[in-house]
Structure 1
């Protein structure tokens, strides 16, 4: 049997969860058709999802058509939960992008399609809600805003029109077309090839509510998106993209197998970067039963230490994120102070299901990262319903970053006679790295100058320490080089290097100096001509940098950048400024130097910038 893992993506309220429900019903996988309004769909399982009618966590369901098992991953539509979408993208064979025939191409739809095209993920477009009043033909809009090489697939699609479009995308097919050697079968085969390459996007129309067009969509999914053979050949290699909890609170890992097989009671290694863990699989759940084979999405139980992004069986690069990490932060406090410890435990548990919220404790305060205000509301509800904790949130603030200005170096020599210090010598050089490089670590000493475990201890500590720079923000675009090493056998241990490295690193960073940068979004804005002055005034107030307005007969297009911390404020003000006619699209662009006095962030944990206090706290520990 072949397998096909498909993501269902859309702007919120386009109808993707209803479409997923209809696909399952039409395939006979469920006996009764649920509805989002009724709160009884298969994929919205959280109480909060059922009440609000939105998808918060990705859901995984399967059905069989012909000889192919199709696994659907229903992803959130709201931009605040884009991290869930990103995790799903790592395991997909293809995608269905749902667009509402009434609302048309919306802001989040464009962000999603840009990402799908950038990653080369084969994608079908399904225009939903054609049965609703106000529904319209969206093909021209889809070509203009989503995919220029989009073609409507329907019985009315002429073979000549399809063949001409295919010939435009492949030179070999073009030669056959010019020589009049192309028939319907050749067109269908070439269509599948170009869809698989992510260079052509078929558009289908229908209604998830009535079922119209859904059969054609299933056929297109099976015939045009690239499926894989289920096989147990090769070494186990799988990606964990979702963590859930069982009734007893145990972890359930959702993993896509790329090669090999996985069976109950099997002892495996799994990797987080280069760090290896081991565990025994207690149970495997896969559609159709039996062991999990390459191509399957499996529910894996028994791996207590597993996290999202881990690789099962063999290490491998996780790749760059498809979307930017959160750029906002909020402090969370329990309404009842005695629940402070329980709050931290509950948030830590939630961070295992969504690592990007990045729980951070500072004295008695706990902070989390966010994409937006809706995510804050969801966390509040999850804490109340899942842990019985009423929580309050401070106003959202911006997450800044630091970057080194110049070059700095520092060395700490071990002194075995002074027991307060550590049996380790560490020297580090810090300098600016290329834009977008994050933190890189290199050696100017021989790799064999230290045991490998000590080298790893230094490198891991460098990365964790640079989570807080001179002003308390994460340090990016920073190149760190190990320049001096020594150890004292047999007393030196990896812990000595973990304790010494922060002192040396922060001394080198202090000598190099850092600047604070703020995250900015690039935006596209379409507004009526009469609102241009008011909108430009608001953008100036929010420190946005707009480009030259492009005026049309009745509307104006604006492009520019705006600080991430002001995106929500502008989006909320836009309807009043434009009488509801403005269309605003934004996505993360880059960081730019913060104007004025750099904002500071209180530090957590031991502070290696204060040498005396740092050593004293370690000694007390």
Structure 2
């Protein structure tokens, strides 16, 4: 438990893939003294990428938590993936963090996944600071990246540092340090100590003019945020450093600005000021609003919990790591104190849970010698003992229950069939898939008893590929894998009024029911199905019968559409008239009539198959632009925009997921390995008629 909650920082490192998140994390651990040697992503020696799959691919797949001290501050840092297939890891982390460091590559700038994680941080109202990394790379441009943050992300960047030079050592003006615009000092980093030795010197005359221009922009923001600074400026007095920092901190916590740092994490340049900036500008749990929830069973009764150990305990499960000794539950504690060997309540499951052990976390494992008797408000810990809670569930004090908002994850867009090669493997496969579902909220596994196969679903090709490797390599399962398939949806194209009927003779009895139902499309084709009871109060239907009819339509809608049973979306049902008889018009009869209304209504309204569409961003040298655009158009892509960024052209297109299988390999072939691409879900659109006809109606 942190001695002073005001000195606690729960932060995340978020960015596009390959911007340098893990390298920044490694450098922070080294500079703080947590490590004696800096790990390298390309060598597979980093603390946070400790999974064999991560080390082999050189990317982050699973979020990892590390703790370190920097000055007076205790930092809980979550390193997150940059690939869109693992965006759930970012989602779950941002849900429990108080602040974030957004990393941009000085060469590539604001990229597709940069926009995604920025929007996620906006949704959770997470204050953030910015680190422009890789200032020592060919083509690095601080000004270009800084200038993109406002128009592309809707941010308001404020430079607290600027680089001295940019680019590698062989260019005329290489990157060699930073200028601190608050203290107006040149900050230099000793390469012999990998950035541990930092020296501050007065600005040379040749750097002063440019620094003064940036300093004036910084102070304009300070005057806007601080009345005290404005008053001092009007009186032509010097604004103290403490006033400048306080104003910037206030603006950052209120999410009005994002302080910007720069450097090269690989060479240890600029990371120490960034670490100091985490303490100076990002909020402690005390600076964040009290967490809001509801009283279980009373959804209209709100509750709030302050980050105070005197409040009743409540926390949120944001990650579960299965383990042989008991699943590791990662919990963010919002209020009160969690004690070892205690009992807590999970209102989402209506179950009591045991807290057998509490551990500190290092990377994705329990920290050696890190067992604790208790952990207080604001902190993050690992708990062993719970059995029922899942990701996004609340755990709280039994006598003072509260239920916090859960975590919403995107739906899987890609599926593939798998089946065990022997009966002996079947049970082990079921247990393994159940474990993977607990660990990864975006992973789905549903057994198809008719085919004897299991359909697994994920966020993309890479996601399913990682799952495939884990099943065969980590769990030694003999499993057959089939070609991935797209997860379609179904909707309707128009409106229809239908009458659902039940008129059956069963033995000596006649079952009768009639329901008039209107089926119409919702404004958003991706919206969930809604069923409205528009029956007049005097229609004569008993409540139980009325409820059964409405429930039947909802259940039918939940089972999928009529083309191929894919999930139904963007449909509204309105039941507005009913007819019954004195005998034989019971719940069963009206369920049959409701089912008939559902089937005939969807058919009459024109069922439509929807295919998932991806937003594709390609960065390519101009030489290959024609071939890449032509290839995208052959894949039924619509080019949304093109933009020049330095020597590269960025193409943004919207393409059906079905046509994008294997695209990363194709683009490497088209560009001789010089172009790169990223994809993220964009929405759904009507599929070609031949796709719909390929399914059995």
Deviates more, 1:293-302 or 1:206-215: 206-215
> 1:176 and 1:223 mapped to 2: Cα distance?
23
**Greater CA deviation, 341-350 or 287-296?**
287-296
Alpha-carbon distance change, 178 to 521 in structure 1, aligned in 2, over 3 angstroms: farther
TM-score (norm 1): 0.79
SS in 1 for 2:96: coil
Give the corresponding residue for 2:484: 396
Instruction: Render the CA deviation track for 1:237-272: whole Å, top value 9, x for unaligned.
Output: 432221112233x32221222334333344333244
In the TM superposition, residue 63 of structure 1 has moved relative to its aligned partner by 2.1
* Closer/same/farther in 2, CA of residues 569 and 45 from structure 1, 3 Å limit: closer
Aligned partners of 1:461 and 1:498 also within 8 Å = no
More deviation in 435-444 or 302-311? 435-444
1:183-332 alignment, distance < 5 Å: 183-229=240-286, 231-248=308-325, 250-272=326-348, 276-286=350-360, 289-313=372-396, 314-318=402-406, 321=409, 324-332=410-418
2:455 is matched with which residue? 367
2:192 corresponds to? none
What corresponds to 2:102 in structure 1?
Answer: 97
Q: Is the 8 A contact 1:525 1:559 kept in 2?
A: yes
Match of 2:144 in 1: 140
CA contact (8 A) 1:5 1:93 kept: yes
Q: TM-score by structure 2 length?
A: 0.71
Of 200, 219, 234, the residue aligned with 1:179 is: 234
- Which moves more between the two structures, 461-470 or 203-212? 461-470
Contact 2:500 2:595 in 1 (8 A): no
Matched residues in 2 for 1:433 and 1:134: separation?
Answer: 50
Corresponding residue for 2:160?
153
Question: CA–CA distance in 1 between the matches of 2:627 and 2:530?
Answer: 45
- How many angstroms apart in 1 are the aligned matches of 2:51 and 2:510? 51
By how many angstroms is 1:101 displaced? 4.8
Find the aligned partners of 1:189 and 1:359 in 2 and give their Cα distance.
50
- Cα 1:505–1:551 change in 2 (3 A) is same
1:227 CA displacement: 0.9
Q: Alignment RMSD, CA only?
A: 4.5
- The answer to whether structure 1 residue 593 and structure 2 residue 686 are counterparts is yes
Are the structure 2 counterparts of residues 194 and 410 from structure 1 closer, same or farther at C-alpha, using a change threshold of 3 Å? farther
Contact 2:88 2:442 in 1 (8 A): yes
Greater CA drift, 54-63 or 11-20: 11-20
Q: Deviations over 1:276-314 (max 9, x none)?
A: 444333333357734333312122222212111222332
Q: 1:179 to 1:459 in 2, by over 3 A?
A: farther
Residue 491 of structure 1 aligns with which residue?
none
Distance 1:338 1:408 in 2: 52
Cα distance in structure 1, aligned partners of 2:39 and 2:463? 26
Alignment match of 2:654 (pick from 561, 564, 581): 561
Aligned length: 592
Task: Give the CA deviation at 1:534.
Answer: 3.0
Q: CA deviation at 1:140?
A: 2.3
Residues 505-529 of structure 1 show CA distances to partners (whole Å, capped at 9, x for unaligned) of 5565456553111111234445555
Which of 523, 548, 552 matches 1:434? 523
CA contact (8 A) 2:30 2:36 kept: yes
2:434 to 344, 348, 363: 348
Question: Does the Cα contact within 8 Å between 2:501 and 2:592 map onto a contact in 1?
Answer: no
Shift in Å, 1:141: 2.4
How big is each residue's C-alpha offset from its partner over 1:560-595, in whole Å with a ceiling of 9 and x where there is no partner? 421123335444333444455545454322211112
Residue pair 1:529, 1:551 contacting (<8 A) in 2 also: no
Contact 1:122 1:197 in 2 (8 A): yes
C-alpha distance in 2 between matches for 1:601 and 1:62: 54
**CA pair 547-51 structure 1, distance change in 2 beyond 3 A:** closer
Whether contact under 8 Å (1:360, 1:367) holds in the other structure is yes
2 CA distance for matches of 1:27 and 1:537?
Answer: 50
The offset of 1:473, in angstroms, is 0.9
CA–CA distance in structure 1, aligned partners of residues 695 and 425 of structure 2: 23
**Mean Cα deviation higher: 587-596 or 177-186:** 177-186
- 1: CA distance, partners of 2:500 / 2:387: 39
1:237, 1:257 within 8 Å by CA — same for their partners in 2? yes
Q: Which runs of 5 or more residues in structure 1 are unaligned?
A: 486-493, 604-608, 610-621
Could you say what secondary structure the match of 1:599 adopts? helix
How far did residue 365 of structure 1 move? 1.4
Question: Which deviates more, 181-190 or 165-174?
Answer: 165-174
Query: SS of the counterpart of 2:463?
Result: helix
Matched residues in 2 for 1:36 and 1:499: separation? Answer: 60
Cα distance, 1:194–1:270 mapped onto 2, change above 3 Å: same
Name the counterpart of 2:113: 108
Evaluate the alpha carbon distance shift between residue 528 and residue 216 of structure 1 in structure 2; reply closer, same or farther with a 3 A threshold. Answer: closer
SS at match of 1:475: coil
Counterpart secondary structure, 2:689? coil
Q: Which residue of 1 aligns with 2:629?
A: 536
Which residue of structure 1 lines up, in the alignment, with residue 297 of structure 2?
none
**Are 2:14 and 1:9 equivalent residues in the alignment?**
yes
Contact 1:14 1:128 (8 Å CA) reproduced = yes
Mapped partners of 2:249, 2:665: distance in 1: 43
Alpha-carbon shift at residue 228 of structure 1 (Å): 1.4
Q: Give deviations 1:429-472, integer Å, cap 9, x for gaps.
A: 754333143234555579xx869xx89x9499739824565422
The alpha-carbon distance between structure 1 residues 258 and 552, as it changes in their structure 2 partners (threshold 3 A), is closer
Task: Tell me which moved more, 175-184 or 252-261.
Answer: 175-184
Cα gap change, 1:294/1:511 in structure 2, threshold over 3 Å: closer, same or farther? farther
The 3-state SS of whatever aligns with 1:376 is: helix
CA drift of 1:557 comes to: 5.6
Q: CA deviation at 1:397?
A: 1.9
Q: Cα distance 1:207–1:397, how it changes in 2: closer, same or farther (>3 A)?
A: same
Q: Identify if the C-alpha distance between structure 1 residues 4 and 410 changes in structure 2 by more than 3 Å, giving closer, same or farther.
A: farther
SS for the counterpart of 1:292 is: strand
Bigger drift between 223-232 and 40-49 goes to 40-49
Conserved? CA contact 1:308–1:352, under 8 Å: yes
